[in-house]
Amino acid sequence: MDVAIVGSGYVGLVTAVCLAHIGHSVVCCDNNEDKIKALKSGHVPIYEPGLDDLLAKYLKSGRIAFTTSIGEAAKKATVIFIAVGTPSKKNGDADLTYIENVAREIAKNMDSYKLLVEKSTVPAQTGDRIARTIRLNLPARHKQGKNVTLEFDVASNPEFLREGSAVEDFMHPDRIVIGVESKRAERLLREVYKPLKATVVVTNLATAEMIKHASNSFLATKISFINSVAQICERVGADVEKVAEGMGYDKRIGRAFLNAGIGYGGSCFPKDVDAFVCLAEKSGYDFKILKSVRDVNEHQRESFIRLIEDKLWIIKDKTIAVWGLAFKSNTDDMRSAASLTVIEALQNEGANIQAYDPQAMPNAKKMLKGVKFCHDPYAAAKGADCLLLLTEWDEFKQADMIKTRELMRQAVIFDGRNFFDAKVLGELGFEYYGIGRGGNA
Ligand code: UGA
């Protein structure tokens, strides 16, 4: 099929490349000229495993093309995915300016039936607003003296891709959600995804939008729940890792997303939780659980900082090594990363930060001032009074911890992800502090 994607950020680009991979002919559009230029020459501006190889392959075969013109992208395609940014406004509500602009632009360029598909995470009822914008901006057409209205549909097809495993997630989805208001739209979207042979859940538009809100917010709730449990574990001498394991075998609960740590970050959970709280408020419901999820998440970072202050005693002029800056492993994304909050708080108290991350340093350099960025984990550890593990990169599992201990001034580790084996590090002579590891620390 001929499909178009408007917006070539994480979601848009992965979707475009993967749709080409399953056999479609894709045109991907973005208003950022530099980005389009880079993509045309095969350069992927983000770190996402597997994406660059696929892009190179389909650029070569001509199955994917890039443009800055929405009109051009929409021309041949019947199905147009909208994957532009929906940043947060000051009150936590989603800013849908880009979505409206895109809808207007597509309407102006329409000359045949189109199916517009929301891919960006948007508040429920956005689909209706897109449809209204299209109707208001369709060019007037006349055939044999009569007004002719062009037909179109709007659908919601939320993405559930995780950064760092987005290509894999696209190819093997747990489910595909299709929110439609017509049989024609359902048929087209089923056809798009047919090669994946996945479970398809068909709903109306508002329900599909709600599935996305509810899924991300539920996952964030699981994280805040286990982080709250971790707080109590610490106080009563229990180990949250074992608690999660014990809970996780129960099929009704599951082990996933029960990793205690310094709280969730990234471009999705913090923004989506805010937007859902806002949507609930607008609809007259006080979503208390979700407000607490947010508070617990913030508290998690604060209590990690308090722990460092407590154990390190004096922060001023201390050298603190940081391993990992990205909001999670396998990505270079620094948006709402816990490292930002932790590093800034410690810098404000006079600490010198030496940091290393395998992928996120170019982005981190734009966001963090006064940090010494190092070329490897050992350079970051050299002369440090303590080491903070903030992102769970595999590379750190392979690190030589005896060498690390010898390089450090004081062998103290604060493990914000419960990544290391507390016992092993203890035996190597480290003073180890994890999250909720009362029985092990
Ligand atoms: C999340 C969802 O998992 C995707 O399904 C969704 O498509 C995406 O948001 C989106 O809305 O675009 P992502 O933000 O890439 O994906 O990352 P996750 O793997 O979900 O992790 C989010 C945050 O939670 C990270 O900071 C991670 O470190 C943290 N986390 C995750 C925990 O603290 N504990 C856990 O057990 C799991």
Atom of ligand 1 nearest to the CA of 216: 2
* 3-state class percentages of the chain: helix first, strand second, coil last, to nearest 5: 45, 15, 40
Does CATH place domain 269-433 in 3.30.930.10? no
- What is the residue with the minimal CA distance to atom 18 of ligand 1? 162
| HEC readout, 142-181 | EECCEEECCCEEEEECCCCCCCCCHHHHHHCCCCEEEECC
- What is the residue with the minimal CA distance to atom 24 of ligand 1? 264
Mutational test site, ligand 1, from 10, 86, 161, max ligand atoms within 8 Å of CB: 161
In this predicted model, what pLDDT tens digit does every residue of 5-62 receive, in sequence order?
999 999 999 999 999 999 999 999 999 999 999 999 999 999 899 999 999 999 999 9
Q: Is 268 a catalytic residue?
A: yes
Atom of ligand 1 nearest to the CA of 391: 28
In this predicted model, what pLDDT tens digit does every residue of 169-219 receive, in sequence order?
999 999 999 999 999 999 999 999 999 999 999 999 999 999 999 999 999
Percent of the chain with pLDDT over 90: 88
In this predicted model, what pLDDT tens digit does every residue of 97-121 receive, in sequence order?
999 999 999 999 888 999 999 998 8
Given a cut of 60, is residue 440 above it in pLDDT? no
Output the pLDDT for position 24: 97
Question: What average pLDDT does range 239-257 have in this prediction?
Answer: 97
Question: What average pLDDT does range 284-306 have in this prediction?
Answer: 97
Does CATH place domain 2-203 in 3.40.50.300? no
Query: What ranges do the domains of the chain cover?
Result: 2-203, 269-433
Phi, psi of 356 (to 5 degrees): -145, 135
User: Could you tell me which residues come within 8 angstroms of residue 439 by beta carbon, excluding any fewer than 6 positions away?
Assistant: 233, 237, 238, 239, 242
Q: Is the pTM of this model over 0.75?
A: yes
DSSP output for 217-228 = HHHHHHHHHHHH
Output the pLDDT for position 74: 87
Q: Any idea which residue has 């990544």 for tokens?
A: 419
Fold equal for 2-203 and 269-433:
yes
In this predicted model, what pLDDT tens digit does every residue of 139-158 receive, in sequence order?
876 556 666 678 999 999 99
Output the pLDDT for position 441: 47
Band (pLDDT 50/70/90 cuts) for residue 88 is confident
